[in-house]
Structure formats: C-alpha cells, structure tokens
Homo-oligomer: A and B are copies of this chain.
Amino acid sequence: MGKAVVSKFANGDGTPSDDALGGFVGYRIRRAWLAVQADLVNALKPFGLRIITYSALALVMSNPGLSQAQLATLMEIERPNLVSIIDELQKRGLLTRDKSPKDGRAYALHLTTDGQALLGSATQAVRAHEARLTHHIDDVSRENLDAALTQIRQNIETKPNA
C-alpha cells in the first residue's frame, strides 16, 4: 500500500526544495533585493559606478554643499567608510571637496559639471532598469508594494526585536 517513494526531499520529485524558507516574507524580500542588486550593478557598470558611488553622486546632487558626515548619515554608512568613496569620486573629477565657509572642520560637497553629466546618464540607465523591474506591475500594485515595504519598516522601528 502506498506508492513508491521517489525521494525523501520536501517537494517529492527528487530535487531538494527551499519551501522551508519560501514562506517567509523576509526571505522573499531578500531574494528580490539580491536579484535587483545584481541587475543594478550591471546597469551601473558602463558608467564606472557602483551602487554606493551612484548613491553618493545622487545625494550630493540633491543636497549641494552637504558635509561628509551628513552624507554618511543619509547613506546609512559609517563615516570612515565614506572617505575612500569620496576620494574616488574626487579623483575622477566628479565632485569637489571645498572647505566649508561656516565650519573649518567640514568639507562642502558639490558635483562638478562632469559629475552632473555622468549622474544624468547613469540615472537614465537606472530608470530603464527600474522600468524593467516593474514591468507587468500596475500602478495600484506598485503603490501597494511601496506601502507594504514602508509598513514593514515602520513595524520594525516601532517594535524592534531586542
């Protein structure tokens, strides 16, 4: 009685399955982010930019004159880890580090014309990448996605684990 067992694996077809994790929202978000990240890295490669250098350029563009400490806070990275990023962008002539007129300790960051041009081209590529991501996702679903992701972050902030 009972038919032959092909495999002891969870999905019963002889191939191991990830069902034990696939039911978790966190796992699904992680898998989505890894896929998006890999695709975005490729989208930025032609411009010689990494995700972190693109982010720095975009944030300096929107917030001209901000300091490295402010930028690090905005990027949610530690101040020491921003130094080499800014070094790299400055060496490539994409942004300037000027002594702040108001605070002798701080630098005021600004994009150069080249930096603005490169950011513009890269942003077009990022928009194309985003358009591909959200293909077949209508406006309502897209808004629901944003709302759900925001709610999740709020839930964690409100009731963090430890």
Chain A interface (Cβ within 8 Å of chain B)?
8-10, 16-21, 24-26, 28-40, 42-43, 45, 55, 58-59, 61-66, 70-71, 74, 76, 126, 129-130, 132-137, 141-142, 144-153, 155-157, 159-162
Contacts and interface: CB of A to CB of B under 8 A. Distances in A.
B35 A33 contact: no
A160 B42 contact: yes
A2 to B, nearest CB: 18
A6 to B, nearest CB: 13
* Among A30, A32, A130: residue with most chain B CB under 10 A: A32
A144 B21 CA distance: 19
Contacts of A135: 151, 155, 159
A35 B132 contact: no
Contact of A21 (B58, B66, B147, B155): B58
B145 A25 contact: yes
B42 A8 contact: no
Given A59-B18, A126-B24, A35 B153 contact: yes
Given A19-B62, A133-B155, A29 B149 contact: yes
